[in-house]
Amino acid sequence: MANMHQLDLSTNEMTGTLPESLCELKELVYLNLFINNFEGVVPSCLGGLPKLEWLQLSFNELTGTLNEAMCETNLLVILNLHENRIAGAIPDCLGDMVNLQQLDLSTNEMTGTLSSLCELKQLVYLNLYDNHFEGVVPACWGTAFPSLETMLLHDNLLRGPLPEAWNLPSLVSIVLSNNVGLDGTLPSSLFSQQHAAASPTSGTSSH
């Protein structure tokens, strides 16, 4: 099976931990284990799969933290870990994964401040809602993502003012509700962006 490009076991009732032997699939491009009952940590060696572009592990019972080894691949386009029990901070190296278009870490138990992620120029979908992130929204997030359509940061512990400068021309939805201490004024630049709109609703990725 060394030549396997795609492994999709999604929407089943599979259990147990994710075996390290997955990391022997050096040709793997697409790994989808969505909606199962897998537990334990995400094997850090998955980040070393040289051709991996799509990693979908949402709706499981995964725990532990994400470490720097997860960032060794530079081809990853989609990283979706929605609705697990992953803890700890966003690893700084995630900001070096410059091909990411979708990053979904929502509905976990992650903590710490928001990593800058400002080099992710291809990002289209950013979902970090329902965690325990604290601190401010990084200033660069208002201008760093020319392709970003959705930014979901609600139900965290964010504080302080929003970035003053906003220029995200593709943005159609931004949700910041239910944070504990966002304050200050509404930046006028947020509303003067072409195509931008504040959304009263939340959502999750379907991918």
Average per-residue pLDDT in the chain? 92
Could you tell me the two tokens for 124?
């289209």
Query: What's the rounded Cα separation, in Å, for the pair 158 and 134?
Result: 4
Distances in Å between the Cα of 196 and the Cα atoms of 64, 132, 149, 168, 181 are 36, 27, 9, 7, 24
Residue matched to tokens 């998955």: 46
Check whether 173 has a pLDDT greater than 50: yes
- For the chain, how big is the Rg over CA atoms in Å? 17
Q: Is 107 helix (H, G, I), strand (E, B) or coil?
A: coil
Domains of the chain: 1-110 (3.80.10.10), 135-201 (no CATH)
| Coil, helix or strand at residue 123 | coil
Number of Cβ within 10 Å of residue 74's Cβ equals 11
Q: What percent of the chain has pLDDT over 70?
A: 93
The string of pLDDT tens digits covering residues 1-47 is: 789 999 999 999 999 999 999 999 999 999 999 999 999 999 999 99
Instruction: Output the pTM of the full model.
Output: 0.91
Q: CA–CA separation, 101 vs 72, rounded Å?
A: 17
Structure confidence by residue, pLDDT tens digits, 129-142: 999 999 999 999 99
Task: Read off the pLDDT band of 206 (50, 70, 90).
Answer: very low
Strand pairing category for 61-63 and 37-41:
parallel
